[in-house]
Amino acid sequence: MKKYFYILFASLGMLVSCEEDLVVYDPGAGYLQFSSTSGTIAEGAPEGPNVTTVLVGAGENPNGVTVNFTVTADDPSRFVIEPSSGSLEIPAGEFSGEIVITPIDNVVVDGDMDIVLELTTGSSLPVGIDGTGVESNTRTVTLIDDDCPVDLGQFTGTFDVDEVFTSGVNEGLTLSGAFGQSYQIEMVPQPGDETGTKVVITNSAGFNEYIPDGTVMTLLPCPGAVEFSPLPLSLAGGFADLAIEEAVFNESEGSVTVSGPLGGFGPYEFVLTKQ
């Protein structure tokens, strides 16, 4: 019998010792918390927008819950958030709601950025686990910049034009040879462009028109492509329009290669190379 009580008392002692480190949360009337405290989203967002879930820690929700939150970021223009009012309504009978962040894809190398959401005390329930206001009451979503830096200086100045039909009945022929012309172009940064990716094209003085003056070329550093505006791209003084199938740049060489069918005359390619 003595042995039995000894074991019982020892067990109770161990139980008391363990409970000294145990944190017990009392939901009381309920509280609000984020389902997770961190996340990421790519600027291009191929996976879709980032969803932040707010949870209601309560046994019931008979009247609905108002969730007020703040949003802090260095550049709020880089994303859209819903609800934009900073107040989320969780209807009666439901125990979660969503705050949705949709990034705006741009072509500016502006780096990664943290978007910090914080539940505020203006909500209809206390915030943070157990209403303490310190656990799971903030969430940081890192917006990942998907743009790559580019040296626009490699694409300003004077450029030679090498052009040729690449296959078909006109393979090996050039427009300059067919028309007895010569081509050379100038590129300058587009005024007012804050992205550092746009240049304006003009034909060099004393040369024939190859690309219409005023055409804008935009560099897309990821994945190393270019776009022209306006389209279609008319070549050789309006001789024919190029249906662009591929347009890429090589920064180290300061060159641009564009290819596709030229009118009904067959596959064609031109290369612009900085002098």
What are 146-162's pLDDT values in tens digits?
Answer: 888 889 999 999 999 99
Average pLDDT over residues 26-31: 70
Q: Identify which has the larger pLDDT, 208 or 145.
A: 208
Residue 192 has pLDDT above 50, yes or no: yes
36/78 same-domain check: yes
Buried b (16+ CB within 10 A) or exposed e, 154-174: bbbeebebebbbeeeebeebb
User: What is the percentage of the chain residues whose pLDDT exceeds 90?
Assistant: 75
Question: What is the count of structural domains for the chain?
Answer: 2
Q: Helix and strand tally (H, E) in the chain? A: 2, 19
Q: What is the 8-class DSSP label of residue 77?
A: G
Which pLDDT does position 136 carry in this prediction?
93
Mean pLDDT, rounded, of the chain: 89
Which pLDDT does position 28 carry in this prediction?
60
**β-strands 138-144, 38-42: how paired?**
parallel
31/128 same-domain check: yes
Which pLDDT does position 222 carry in this prediction?
78
Query: Is residue 19 domain-resident?
Result: no
- 187 within 8 A of 155, measured Cβ to Cβ: yes
Average pLDDT over residues 209-219: 97
Average pLDDT over residues 122-138: 91
**Domain of 107: which CATH number?**
2.60.40.2030
**β-strands 31-34, 255-261: how paired?**
unpaired
83/109 same-domain check: yes
140/174 same-domain check: no
Q: Where in the sequence is the domain holding 243, given as residue range(s)?
A: 152-274
Distance CA 6, CA 273 (A): 92
Which pLDDT does position 127 carry in this prediction?
95
Residue 12 has pLDDT above 90, yes or no: no
Confidence of residue 11 (pLDDT cuts 50, 70, 90): very low
Query: Is residue 135 domain-resident?
Result: yes
Give Cα separations from 154 to 114, 151, 250, 274 (angstroms).
32, 6, 9, 8
Which pLDDT does position 1 carry in this prediction?
36
Residue 5 has pLDDT above 80, yes or no: no
38/116 same-domain check: yes
268/174 same-domain check: yes
Which pair of tokens denotes residue 165? 């039909």
